[in-house]
Amino acid sequence: MSTLERIRGAARQVRRERARGLAVLNEVFRAGAPPDPPLDGRYTGELIALDVAPGLTQLAGTISALWMPWKGKTFDATLACGDNIFTRDSLALAHIYWPLYRGYREDGPRTYRAFAFRTHVAPGLADPDRQVLKIDYDLDGNPGPTIRRVLDELVQVADDVYLGKAHLKWWWGRWQWVAYFALSQMEDQDESQQSHADIRSTHGCDL
């Protein structure tokens, strides 16, 4: 069984035996290390598991199973930054939810990019004995009440397979793990999407 198959199997197990499935995901995460070589280019994203709050977790899981506009991330290894890829059918809703945000980036006929981040390697929040790649959204251009409170942590768990933990900082200052996600490098990039050079020029990493 490949590492990615094990991750997906744990995601299915979370639905039946939540504690055991999450324990497997945490075991895989803790066995990982910061990506080497550093991530560079476009990566396909996959939501693996959620844990927001009682009731909300089930609701968010149902919605995400039916509609998942987040499709991955882009990274610039040289500038240590990147942003997120979304399907274009979510853009109108994003404008309603974040009306003052000005960081939306064109990405071709089917996708757009938003919510820039910076990256660096440091100990994990819940795993201080492990080094992880921090994906930090606390940038001036991002929406303050929501996106700037997110901190992702990513480790490489196999060749071209990366497992991430998403954390949310509540208003009273406590960090909470809220999701696992996986990344893998996009194999076939649509010619209509921007080249890597164009991506670098529009990351908004100077926010």
Q: For residue range 73-122, what is the model confidence (pLDDT) as tens digits? A: 999 999 999 999 999 999 999 999 999 999 999 998 999 999 999 999 99
- Whole-number pLDDT of residue 27: 97
Residue 195 clears pLDDT 50, i.e. is over it: no
38 in a structural domain? yes
The model's pTM: 0.89
- Whole-number pLDDT of residue 53: 63
Tell me how many domains the chain contains: 1
Rounded CA gap, 188 and 111, in Å?
15
132 in a structural domain? yes
206 in a structural domain? no
Rounded CA gap, 82 and 96, in Å?
23
Are 154 and 36 in contact by the 8 Å Cβ rule? The answer is no
128 in a structural domain? yes
Domain that residue 21 falls in: 3-201
Rounded CA gap, 70 and 166, in Å?
14
- Whole-number pLDDT of residue 197: 47
Burial of 203 (0-12, 13-18, 19+ CB in 10 A): buried
Check residues 6 and 203 and name the one with the higher pLDDT: 6
Rounded CA gap, 64 and 121, in Å?
29
| Average predicted confidence (pLDDT) for the chain | 88
- Whole-number pLDDT of residue 18: 87
Which of 41-45, 61-65, 94-98, 139-143 is the least confident region?
Answer: 61-65
207 in a structural domain? no
Residue 125 clears pLDDT 80, i.e. is over it: yes
**38 - beta bridge partners?**
none
Check residues 202 and 31 and name the one with the higher pLDDT: 31
- Whole-number pLDDT of residue 66: 72
